[in-house]
Amino acid sequence: MSRTGACVAVGLCLLLTGGAAGGVAAPHVGRRSAGRAGTAEQPRTAEGLVEAPPFTGGWLRPDGGLVHVGHDGVAPFLMDFASRRRWRLEPREDGAWALAGSQPAARITWNGSRPSLTGLGPAPLVLERLPARTEDVTVRNGGVTLAGTLWLPAGTPPRAGVVLLPDADMETRRALEPYPSFLVHQGLAVLTYDRRGSGGSTGNGRPWVSGMDVLAEDGLAAARLLRERAGLREGAVGLMGFGQGAWAAVHAASRAPELTGFLVLVSGGGGPLWKQEQHRLRNEARRKGLTGPELVELTEFLGVLHDARLYAPEREEKSLRTLDFHLKRAKRRRWYAVTPQSRHEELPLPGMLELQRLLWSNVLSYDPAEDLGRVRGPVLALLGEKDEVTPARPTASALSAALSQADSDVRAGTVTVKVLAGADHRLVLPADAKQPGVETMAEELFPSLEAWLRGLGR
């Protein structure tokens, strides 16, 4: 093997096994900081994160409203569905946690059996445990095992089930909270799992290793397990995908339409993935202060990378020259730091081309138009008007067009596509500077989801 060939092989081997630092940026969800320390010493995990409170899970207010206490992998939080607000939790004295940014100051205290909320109303709210049970499960797909959690309503059999497919940066199932509590409260069985190579799951989830086919099969394996464990009839299990997981859900539904009873697509699922990636990178560049002409140059560079002709085997030599020319030019520009290629400069040119080829074939080239035409059941799509990761209007148009053109003999369900005013990729409204640590979900999010789920099976 030539020296160049050996370098390519070693470089790609490191990337494929996760040995290289950094990674190609993928569609992602905004992360929250863990926040300042509380007045009490904060219990932390081995990774230095503030631990979750001892009363995580779903709770009911005296008026029947749902509250969820959890940990999203960055910080503990409390979600009150009635107000649509989510607060970061900061430990205070033993058994007390402050709701960061709440005005007036609110806190939740734990007496060992039930938590009590003060500051959200004229009197303390003593919470009752949501009637639900959870258990750890293992999803098997080939030689890979995915660590999961099964959520079941307590006392009554579930009327349907749903598997949650995570976004590209939702590494563990904790990042999907508080949706499981909300869905169980609606009478559904829920299954969540850690992405490949993250948390308790085996395998490699990097996009140049595991593409849309693999992600779809992971979701279907989880759906089969959920149907079996929850005792559900055929067609009673749906898929709810977030971001990249929405595209994976569409792909999965087209592969096993008899298994997938319905789809809920959050912040994704319509239009080619390479268009979403360009939207994401342009917005990242804007946040870094790049100018109009620089954004035009960035888009032109991405247009070269997102052209299938670059990866045709018979054009290898020409493709190497093309990539070399554009990379040399890009490295002299400020916008190059935004691109995924800037994180893999250790690769020689042939290795960079091969990495891009894998990304293109595995993920970015995926266009769900044909798959959407094979989806049978009802579909709900919820998109954020101000989403800087997924372009809301083009995605909504692509979903509506593809689903409306489906064969009437195949499609049996309704299609509902909503763009939620002011919402971002996580369907959160713009932050209030006066209330740091507080997030407010889009006004239509939970009412729309609840009403749509109530109509399933009618």
Last residue of some domain: 111, 129, 147?
129
Residue 303, in any domain of the structure = yes
Strand partners, 149: 136, 192
**pLDDT surpassing 90 at residue 19:** no
Q: Give residue 269's pLDDT.
A: 98
State residue 69 phi and psi, 5-degree precision.
Answer: -115, 125
Alpha-carbon distance 173 to 168, whole Å?
A: 12
Confidence category of residue 30, pLDDT binned at 50, 70, 90 = very low
Indicate if 345 and 375 belong to the same structural domain.
no
Q: What average pLDDT is seen over the chain?
A: 90
Indicate if 379 and 252 belong to the same structural domain.
yes
The secondary structure of residue 151, as a DSSP letter, is E
Tell me the average pLDDT across 241-262.
97
Q: Give the pTM.
A: 0.90
**pLDDT surpassing 60 at residue 37:** no
Q: Give residue 433's pLDDT.
A: 81
Q: Give residue 24's pLDDT.
A: 40
Alpha-carbon distance 323 to 339, whole Å?
A: 14
Q: Give residue 349's pLDDT.
A: 97
Q: Give residue 73's pLDDT.
A: 86
Residue 52, in any domain of the structure = no
Per residue in 208-218, pLDDT (tens digit) is: 999 999 999 99
Confidence category of residue 432, pLDDT binned at 50, 70, 90 = confident
Indicate if 374 and 303 belong to the same structural domain.
no
- Our CA dihedral for 190, 191, 192, 194, rounded to 10 degrees, sits at 170
Q: Give residue 43's pLDDT.
A: 56
Alpha-carbon distance 159 to 169, whole Å?
A: 30
Confidence category of residue 406, pLDDT binned at 50, 70, 90 = low
Tokens of 117: 């909320």
Alpha-carbon distance 299 to 311, whole Å?
A: 19
Length of the chain (residues) = 458
Indicate if 89 and 145 belong to the same structural domain.
no
Alpha-carbon distance 134 to 191, whole Å?
A: 10
Three-state DSSP at 311 gives helix
Range of the domain at 190: 132-272+367-454
Tell me the average pLDDT across 142-170.
96
The Cα-based distances of 186 to 115, 178, 192, 212 in angstroms read 22, 13, 16, 30
**pLDDT surpassing 70 at residue 410:** no
Burial class (CB in 10 A: 0-12, 13-18, 19+), 328: exposed
Indicate if 192 and 263 belong to the same structural domain.
yes
Per residue in 344-375, pLDDT (tens digit) is: 999 999 999 999 999 999 999 999 999 999 99
